[in-house]
Structure 1
């Protein structure tokens, strides 16, 4: 059973925000300061986006015939996952990511380990340190088969740029290196970067099962809505494992 199958759970469970949406809402109501500089974060051009087909190789995310989530209301939502973190696969916790490096946008930082909050929603990096990205530990570890998920803020409450402020500036061919606890480095190649409206977030494209090791980098994006105090979009960078080497 995949991590996403467990995350999706039963269609009878109440809907909760997806990783990207929770990341957005975590900063909601608090990012009004310094907005004149914040809403100019780089946005990916159409030429940098992933093709509609051919790169991601998604399989049925529900594990075959289960309930498939769809965007609900103004946010993309998925049913509640398990309250306690569950390993993505047997022995998945034996190797964990410890840091991330993205030379093209100047990112080099240790990774937090993110789980779920008491109410079942996805934990996100703290607003007290927007320079810190985090790996969602119920997703595959980077280098395992499936989409590993790493979250980062676009900005902070004072206008400080977050770790993924320039995520939209990534281009196909850029590299992302993730150092792991077994002293190896998984190197990913960026396939594309897309920005999606909150009400059209492609849950299965982002979180759905894949046949090879992949990576998803997620932050807020698009225009900042002063009325709602939220960014209107989410930016997602897609990457595929290119190889591993000793740290």
Structure 2
């Protein structure tokens, strides 16, 4: 059966960030993830994880300044990008070695060839910085409707980046919501790229609400992930339509169906 983590950057936002950990535990989660934990000291986060018997499974590199949403594909920002990778790796090593999503950035204003060169070179440096750390690096395509101009927009592009660069330690964050909005054909793409997938996330499409709302048949998608041998966490990364604690009907149903642990 599959196991699920709660993304605290989008769930339990009724509460201050540090109080969301306990709320996730009360809701039955034993693992959490988040986008940008850097407003809080790593020691503080370590304590709140321990206090609530939670595993942290993923964080992002810093988003940069307004309008950047990551730095890897932005020429001229190499030093800031390297600092963001070092910062994320430091936090990851202090917090149980969660995966780190290396954010590409909004590069719509950059010539495509320049953005690609910057992105590939940045990923190569990030992989070198992560060597020996035990931290897995992820790249995540974000759909062009929600994040117009984001350099990495499709899961097929993400797989091509790994193949072209030869950075075989990189893995793809397969966010079913983003894949559905950008390309669709979820199960076929999950099968095609499964060997390169390092984390899976879920939300309803097209509105990014609860996973049991919208056009994605998650019982079938998740059964396929299970058949393929998925043993990692699956991140709940959706915007609840009401109080977060009342939004877990989808999880109860997956448990009833014998899909979720």
Select the structure that is richer in strand: 1
Q: Which has the higher contact order (CA 8 A, sep 6+)?
A: 1
Give the TM-score of the pair, scaled to structure 1: 0.29
